[in-house]
Amino acid sequence: MMTPMTDAALLIPGSWLGMIGGGQLGRMFCHSAQSLGYKVAVLDPDTQSPAGAVADLHICAAYDDAQALVRLGELCQAVSTEFENVPAQSLLTLAQYTRVTPSGDAVGIVQDRIREKAFISQAGVPVAPYAAIESLDDLQAADSALFPGILKTARFGYDGKGQARVADRDQALAAFKEFGSQACVLEALQPLKSEISVVLARGLDDQVKTFPCARNEHRDGILAVSTVSAQFQDDAMSEQARQAAAAIARTLDYVGVLCVEFFILEDGRWLANEVAPRPHNSGHYTMNACVTSQFEQQARVMAALPLGDTQALCPSMMLNILGDIWFDAQGQMREPDWAALLAVPGVSLHLYGKTEARAGRKMGHVNIVGESDQQVRERTARAATALHIAFDHD
Ligand code: ATP
Ligand code: MG
For 159-193, letters b (16+ CB in 10 Å) and e give eeebbbebeebebbeebbeebeeebbbbbeebeee
Return d(Cα 64, Cα 86) in angstroms, integer: 9
The verdict on whether residue 157 carries a ligand-binding annotation is: yes
Given a cut of 90, is residue 166 above it in pLDDT? yes
Q: Which CATH superfamily is domain 192-387 in?
A: ATP-grasp fold, B domain (3.30.470.20)
User: Is residue 364 within a helix (H) or strand (E), and if so which, with residue range?
Assistant: strand 362-369
DSSP 139-181: HHHS-GGG-SEEEEESSS--TTTTEEEESSHHHHHHHHHHTTT
Contacts of 319 (CB under 8 A, 6+ apart): 224, 225, 365, 366, 368, 380, 383, 384, 387, 389, 391
- The pLDDT assigned to 155 comes to 95
Angle, in degrees to the nearest 10, between helices 113-122 and 236-251: 110
Give yes or no for residue 189 CB within 6 A of ligand 1: yes
Q: Are 293 and 313 in contact (CB under 8 A)?
A: no
The reply, when asked if residue 195 is annotated as ligand binding, is yes
Mean pLDDT of all residues in 219-239: 89
Residue among 151, 161, 163 to mutate when testing ligand 1 (max atoms within 8 A of CB): 163
Domain 16-110 has what CATH class? alpha beta
Say yes or no to pLDDT of 192 above 60: yes
**Taking residues 206-210, what's their average pLDDT?**
97
Q: What fold is seen in the domain 129-188?
A: Dna Ligase; domain 1 (3.30.1490)
As a whole number of angstroms, the distance between CA 181 and CA 162 comes to 12
Mutation probe of ligand 1 site: the residue of 85, 113, 150 with most atoms within 8 A of C-beta? 150
Residues in the chain: 394
Please give the Cα distance from 30 to 52 (Å, whole number): 9
pLDDT band at 8 (very low <50, low <70, confident <90, very high): confident
**β-sheet bridge partners, residue 164:** 151
Q: Is 218 in the pocket of ligand 1 (CB under 6 A)?
A: yes
Band the pLDDT of 7: cuts 50, 70, 90. low
Task: Tell whether the model's pLDDT for residue 160 goes beyond 80.
Answer: no
For residues 103-124, average pLDDT = 97
160 is in an annotated binding site: yes
pLDDT, average across residues 225-245: 91
pLDDT at 3 over 70: no
Cα separation, 111 vs 88, in Å, equals 9
Say if residue 218 carries a ligand binding annotation: yes
Question: Where does CATH 3.30.470.20 sit in the chain?
Answer: 192-387
- H/E segment holding residue 261: strand 256-265
Instruction: Identify the pLDDT of residue 194.
Output: 96
Where does CATH 3.30.1490.20 sit in the chain?
A: 129-188
CA pair distance 375, 365, nearest whole angstrom: 19
Nearest ligand (C-alpha, residue 130) = 1
pLDDT in tens, 304-329: 999 999 999 999 999 999 999 999 99
Instruction: Report the pLDDT value the prediction gives residue 4, as an integer from 0 to 100.
Output: 47
- Measured on CA atoms in the order 132, 134, 140, 141, is the torsion positive or negative? negative
SS3 content of the chain, % helix, strand, coil (to 5): 30, 25, 40
Whether residue 277 contacts residue 101, with contact meaning beta carbons closer than 8 Å, is answered with no
- Interval 338-370: pLDDT, tens: 999 999 999 999 999 999 999 999 999 999 999
> Which candidate, 13, 301, 247, places its Cα nearest to that of 292?
301
Residues 6+ apart with CB under 8 A from 234: none
pLDDT band at 231 (very low <50, low <70, confident <90, very high): confident
Q: Which atom of ligand 1 is nearest to the CA of 163?
A: 6
> Quick check: 1 pLDDT over 80?
no
Residue of minimum CA distance from atom 16 in ligand 1? 160
- For the residues 20-45, what does the mean pLDDT come to? 98
Q: How far is the CA of 268 from the centre of ligand 2 (A)?
A: 20
394 confidence band (pLDDT: 50, 70, 90): low
What number of other Cβ atoms are within 10 A of residue 134's Cβ?
Answer: 16
Q: How far apart are alpha carbons 107 and 212 in whole angstroms?
A: 23
* Bridge partners, 261 (sequence order): 197, 274
Domain with CATH 3.40.50.20 in the chain: 16-110
Contact 258, 276 (CB under 8 A): yes
Q: If you measure from the C-alpha of residue 158 to the centroid of ligand 1, how many angstroms do you get, rounded to a whole number?
A: 9
Over the stretch 291-310, which tens digit does the pLDDT of each residue have?
Answer: 999 999 999 999 999 999 99
pLDDT at 202: 98
329 burial level (CB within 10 Å; 0-12, 13-18, 19+): exposed
Cβ of residue 273 lying under 6 Å from some atom of ligand 1: yes
Radius of gyration of the chain (CA): 21
CA distance 134 to 57: 42
Write the pLDDT tens digit of every residue in 238-257.
999 999 999 999 999 999 99
Quote the pLDDT of residue 364: 98
Cα separation of 370 and 346, whole Å?
A: 6
**Contacts for 329 with CB less than 8 Å, ≥ 6 apart:** none
Query: Contact at 8 Å (CB) between 319 and 368?
Result: yes
274 annotated to bind ligand = yes
